[in-house]
Amino acid sequence: MTRVSLLGIPNDENSSFLRGPAEAPPLIRRELFCDAYSMWSETGIDLGAEGRLQDRGDLKFEPGQDPWEAIEQGVARVLATGDSLISLGGDHAITHPILRAVRQRHPKLAILHIDAHADIYDAYEGNRRSHASPFARIMEEGLADRLVQVGLRTINDHHRDQFKRFSVEVIEAAKFSDDLRLEFSTPVYISLDLDGLDPAHAPGVSHREPGGLSVRQVLNLIHRIDQPIVAADIVEYNPRCDFMTMTATVAAKLAKEIAGAMLRNGRGC
C-alpha cells in the first residue's frame, strides 16, 4: 500500500533571530488530526483511511550526538519503509540533513522551495548550518539536480551570486502569477517555509515578510505538480508568534494537501 509518513523534527538550534520552531511539530499534528476538520484532501484522497497516513512521532536528540546525524539517520529509517515522507520542523536548517537521506534513495531529484528568503547564504553570522544557509550546503553537496525557489522577496547581491553559482531558478513573489505551472521531469522534494506565505495567512513565523503568497496560490502550485513528490518539509512555524493557532491550521492544511498529492502522483525512484 502506498503510504505517507509524518516525522516531527523539533530542532531550532540554528535559528538566527527567535527560538520557537522546535515546539511546532505537536501543534501542527494536533490541528491535522483534529475532529473539526476532514481528512479528505482536495486531491480526492482520504488520508483517514486505515494505514494511509503513518505518524512516526518526533525525532529524539540524544546528548552528545550531532543533530545532523540524528536527522539524517531518522529520516533514512522512515524512507527505508518505502513511505513518502513529510517532515515537520523545526527551523529551515533541518532541510540539509533531510536531503542527505533523501538523495540516497533518489539519484534524480528536483527541489521546489517556497519561501520569502533564499536561505542560500554561504554562511550567516559565521554559521554554515544557519537556517539562512541550508540550500548552499545542499547544492554544494550535489543533493539535488535542480533548485526552483518561489516567493522570494528579500534578495540581495550575495544571493544573486549564489544563484549564478548553483544555477538556481528563481520566481520572485512580485513576478508570481496565479497560473504558474512548474514543469518537472524528475521526482520532486518540496521545502515549504511558512514565511513564504503572506503573514496575513501565516502570522506565526519568526521573520514576517509582507507581500507573500496566499494559501490558495501555494496549494495550486503543489496540486499542479505531475511528477512523484517523494518527500517534503514544512518548516519555520513559530507557535510563540502565532494567533489562535491560525498558522498551525494552515501548516496542517498544507501537510494534508502535500500528502494527497504524494498519494495521487505515486512515488518515484
Q: Is the pLDDT of residue 216 over 60?
A: yes
Please give the mean pLDDT across all residues of the chain.
96
Task: Give the total number of structural domains in the chain.
Answer: 1
Q: Is 35 annotated as a binding residue?
A: no
Determine the Cα–Cα distance for residues 61 and 59; give it in Å rounded to an integer.
7
- What is the model's pTM? 0.96
Does 195 carry a binding-site annotation?
yes
Residue 179 marked ligand-binding: no
Q: What are phi and psi of 59, to 5 degrees?
A: -65, 140
pLDDT of residue 266: 80
145 marked ligand binding residue: no
Query: Is 223 flagged in the annotation as binding?
Result: no
Question: How many Cβ atoms from other residues are within 10 Å of residue 183's Cβ?
Answer: 10
113 is known to lie in a ligand binding site: no
Residue 268 has pLDDT above 90, yes or no: no
Pairwise CA distance, residues 155 & 201, whole Å: 22
CATH of the domain at 58: 3.40.800.10
Residue 48 CA neighbour count, 13 Å, CB half = 9
Each residue of 36-95: pLDDT tens digit?
999 999 999 999 999 999 999 999 999 999 999 999 999 999 999 999 999 999 999 999
Cα–Cα dist 188/35, whole Å: 31
Give the distance, in angstroms, between the CA of residue 28 and the centroid of all CA atoms in the same chain: 13
Q: What is the DSSP string of 112-152?
A: EEE-SS----S-BTTBTTSTT-HHHHHHHTT--SEEEEEEE
Helix axes 67-79, 95-105, angle to 10 degrees: 40
* Structure confidence at residue 220 as a pLDDT band (50, 70, 90): very high
The 10 Å CB-count burial string (b at 16+, else e) for 18-49 is: eebbbebbebbbebbeeeeeebebebebebee
Residue found under cell 507557535: 239
Set of cell numbers at residue 192: 515549504
In tens, the pLDDT along 124-166 reads 999 999 999 999 999 999 999 999 999 999 999 999 999 999 9
User: Which residue range is the domain that position 198 belongs to?
Assistant: 4-265
pLDDT per residue as tens digits for the range 246-255 = 999 999 999 9
